[in-house]
Amino acid sequence: MVTTYAVVPAPFGQVTVGVSDGAVTDVRFPHADGSAATDDLGERADPADDPVLAEAVRQLTAYLAGELRDFDLPLRYRGSAFRQRVWDGLRAVPYGTTTTYGALATAVGLDPRTTARAVGAANGANHLPIVVPCHRVIGADGMLTGFSGGLERKRELLALEARVASGAGTLF
């Protein structure tokens, strides 16, 4: 299985999207210096040569411009059935809103008293951030919590969505 990727410019650096066998397999935030995180991903490709890659680039670009709220892409998860269940739950969290780990656990039919931490771990293992919106999960106290892209990027994504959802325009 060969993964090809393209790089999408974002206000906070280069976002990398990887595709393999007709499905999006990776979305990666940039390195600390803003450069694309392409380590061990495969070969850079021209999106024009792969319709799934082209659509992923189009949708990510539209999302970052505040023009897309819901992604419609074929996705390939890498994780246990439990993690996949959590990631499916993340996709149901509406644009411009947040949820907590406990509420997410409840939404996917789990007992939040015993699974909130495992839900948090699954959230942190999401290899398709933005598309599978793990940035929409916050702590029970309303505080921003860990995020693979860093808390500042999480804050930026939530602010973008809040501004667009309120009709105030884009932040970027």
The values of phi and psi at residue 92, to 5°, are -90, -5
Residues 102 and 160: their CA atoms lie apart, in Å, by 24
Catalogue the active-site residues.
134
Residue 149, C-beta contacts closer than 8 angstroms, at least 6 positions apart? 29, 129, 135, 157
End-to-end CA distance of the chain: give it in Å, rounded: 36
Closest CA to 76 of 112, 27, 115: 27
Residue 167 neighbours by CB distance under 10 Å: 6
